[in-house]
Amino acid sequence: MSRAGRIAAAERGQKLPAFANRTEAERALFSFRDDQLRLLWRLALASDAFQPSHAPESLKALEQWYFDLLERDAFTGLGTERATFEECMAMYFLETAVRNSDVAWTVDEYAFEPGRYEIGVKRPLFAQYTMRITHLPLLRENSGDRRYTGSTGNALAGRQPYNVLGERRDNE
């Protein structure tokens, strides 16, 4: 791994929650998942802008709802904050993947920061960890084909001018 990669990995690790052990992490992060999914359900029922069916197509409606709230700066009017809504989106995205593919929920220790854990989904030879989807506004700058790829938690398809941290890639 390059020096820049090690720095980015360490910075990401510092942002993840710390737990004494895997059991404690699973208890807390699965509870976080359940809370965020319940909150998204309540918000959806209150707004009529999105119906959480967990069908893959519902991700498009969730994305549209997110952009509508973002453009109108309407998260507080809905009774939440943008960061919380983005956490709900991440858990919904992963739950949709679980219900529509062969992945399963997991909580794992972050490889580059002992004692730090993240929630995600995995199957043999694949893992996706997403605590919060924070880079979706970048989609507005990419008006081409938009679909959820599941490869990085990034909704951009094809060549991606942004890395998973939302930073522009200058070398492409």
- pTM for the whole structure: 0.76
Average pLDDT over residues 35-40: 97
pLDDT at 154: 37
The residues spanned by each domain of the chain are 18-141
Question: For 40-96, what is each residue's pLDDT tens digit?
Answer: 999 999 888 899 999 999 999 999 999 999 999 999 999 999 999 999 999 999 999
What is the C-alpha separation between 148 and 39, in angstroms, rounded?
Answer: 22
Contact 51, 44 (CB under 8 A): yes
What is the C-alpha separation between 153 and 130, in angstroms, rounded?
Answer: 7
